[in-house]
């Protein structure tokens, strides 16, 4: 797998979700599916840029916002719900575990899929994230392709 670093400069550490209007995509059979709207919670600018480039797939999946803090992520997602959230556990302020817990306690219908993407893939951390409500847990050092495949597969669910 080859990932290209996307050059992006941001003046703030949170970008708001793009409009909730549901973009759709027609597949080969002619059926229409909505584009998967994903929010990214990641404190590393380098990883965030890689994921923005790797996961924005025209007509399939779109990163609609990102934050590097717990408070910024929760506020943005509650204001404009998304289909899926990719969350790192270590953030600039707060924690990814708290993001998971707060989103699961929120009155979001439907609840977004929550994907943990971390450099800390230890069994006890995985267990805790899943107890709090994460749907999937991936290791940043090895699971980029698996995470993307899982996200795209979640569109059918």
Q: What is the pLDDT of residues 23-60, one digit of tens each?
A: 544 445 555 668 999 999 999 999 999 999 999 999 99
pLDDT band at 124 (very low <50, low <70, confident <90, very high): very high
Return d(Cα 62, Cα 18) in angstroms, integer. Answer: 10
**Statement: residue 1 has pLDDT above 50:** no
**Statement: residue 17 has pLDDT above 70:** no
Q: What is the mean pLDDT of residues 11-22?
A: 45
Condensed to tens digits (0 to 9), the pLDDT of residues 68-97 reads 999 999 999 999 999 999 999 999 999 999
Residue 31 burial (10 A CB sphere; 0-12, 13-18, 19+): exposed
């Amino acid at each position: 797998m080859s990932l290209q670093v996307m050059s992006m400069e941001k003046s703030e550490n949170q970008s708001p979700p793009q409009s909730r209007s549901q973009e759709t995509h027609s597949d080969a059979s002619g059926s229409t599916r909505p584009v998967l709207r994903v929010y990214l919670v990641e404190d590393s600018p380098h990883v965030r840029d890689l994921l923005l480039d790797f996961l924005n797939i025209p007509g399939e999946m779109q990163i609609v916002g990102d934050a590097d803090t717990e408070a910024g992520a929760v506020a943005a997602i509650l204001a404009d719900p998304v289909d899926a959230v990719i969350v790192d556990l270590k953030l600039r302020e707060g924690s990814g575990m708290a993001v998971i817990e707060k989103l699961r306690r929120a009155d979001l219908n439907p609840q977004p899929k929550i994907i943990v993407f971390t450099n800390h893939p230890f069994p006890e951390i995985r267990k805790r994230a899943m107890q709090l409500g994460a749907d999937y847990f991936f290791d940043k050092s090895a699971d980029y392709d698996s995470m993307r495949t899982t996200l795209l597969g979640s569109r059918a669910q």
